[in-house]
Structure 1
């Protein structure tokens, strides 16, 4: 009988003993996985999280500012509507006239500013053109001074060529050296004058042309029965023009009319 009771109580005893063993077993703490992952994620992506947070705060601030502005606009609109709602017709008409007068004043002010702006633009363009002309004048003056200094050198070519007698210029059989020298000086003169012409300095030789007092300088007059009066028949000194402006007037002899 006692044996049966012990056998019956054995399952409950086993359960009690297992509970006791479980209670006496050392407790093992679980690793804070979530916290470790959170720390790692902060360590790896801390800068991105800060940037996203800053952008979010900026957007929130902008949205808050827009909402505040819209609320202020609504409040002003409601205030103005409530203000005008309490006015009579005469007061509304007076208010309308006042606003119209203010609008006209602003319109006149805008027109005045527009006129000032137009004048300022015109003055600035005139200043640009004036400055451009002054710069060009300064360049022309500098080139003109340099060109005047070259005129004596150009005249020396004419003087050197005039020294050689005309009958010896082409007589290479008897005066070969003198003829070759004349040809060399002539070629040098032509090249030099072409170079000056490329820079606007042109030689004026008005032989046979009509006398022009604005361009030519008459040194003497001689009647010529076979020539038309007022015609240049002799060039005492050639002239030069720089960029279509007379730099030195040619000195000429003019046919005198028979009165």
Structure 2
């Protein structure tokens, strides 16, 4: 059988071409090789991200712990709020009873004076009991009007005292710890001179510390 020289040459050319192209195809499908410096940089970036995630989780945990602790403290401090509110009308009635027995009437009647003394003792004991749980009566009379502690029921013209002074208390207000339990219902002056900063000193904060 006679071999065609042209066919042999064509086969050799195709084989050589396939041999030259094979490494290029293999190299194209392989992933690029990272240098040691690139690997170190990638690891450092991963460590930094993990550290950031850890610090964020730690901060969230600490915030949650602080909030839970504050909630526990608030529950302990203000646990008496509802019960104290129920007792305030009793304190109001005792105060009204004493106001209904002026000094002149007590001096004229031994029985009335004895009764008034008993009411005074009861009222004092009640205030002391409330004070043990952080409940304090707001000292409002002749104090500057404080919108955080007072509820103005009426304004009256008084030119002899600074405007915004509490001149009458309809109903005492109370605090429990640092929170308002009940605002005081008051009458406030108007038409007088402007209040000076000296008149609004911390001593006029409106809280009776000795109940």
Shorter-chain TM-score above 0.5 = yes
> Pick from 37, 50, 69: which aligns with 1:113?
50
1:92-139 Cα offsets, whole Å, 9 max, x none, are: xxx9x7333222222222222111111111010011112223333444
> Pick from 152, 164, 172: which aligns with 1:230?
164
CA gap of 1:199–1:141, structure 2 versus 1, over 3 A, is: closer
Describe the SS at the equivalent of 1:127: helix
Partner of 1:130: 67
Q: Distance in 2 between matches of 1:207 and 1:124?
A: 48
The yes-or-no answer on 1:202 pairing with 2:202 is: no
> What is the aligned-residue RMSD (CA, Å)?
2.3
1:80-159 alignment, distance < 5 Å: 98-140=35-77, 142-159=79-96
- Whose Rg is larger? 1
CA gap of 1:106–1:186, structure 2 versus 1, over 3 A, is: same
Describe the SS at the equivalent of 2:174: strand
TM-score by length of 1: 0.56
1:58-93 Cα offsets, whole Å, 9 max, x none, are: xxxxxxxxxxxxxxxxxxxxxxxxxxxxxxxxxxxx
Determine which structure has the larger helix proportion and give its number.
1
> Pick from 160, 165, 190: which aligns with 2:102?
165
**Which segments of 5 or more consecutive residues in structure 1 lack a partner in the other structure?**
1-94
Higher relative contact order (CA 8 A, sep 6+): 2
CA gap of 1:182–1:135, structure 2 versus 1, over 3 A, is: same
1:144-197 Cα offsets, whole Å, 9 max, x none, are: 22221111111121122123232133x2xx533321221122122112212212
> Pick from 164, 170, 174: which aligns with 1:240?
174
Task: Quote the offset at 1:203 in angstroms.
Answer: 0.5
Q: Distance in 1 between matches of 2:189 and 2:59?
A: 53
1:33-74 Cα offsets, whole Å, 9 max, x none, are: xxxxxxxxxxxxxxxxxxxxxxxxxxxxxxxxxxxxxxxxxx
Question: Moved runs in structure 1, 4+ residues, more than 6 A?
Answer: none
1:197-226 Cα offsets, whole Å, 9 max, x none, are: 231111013111111223211111111233
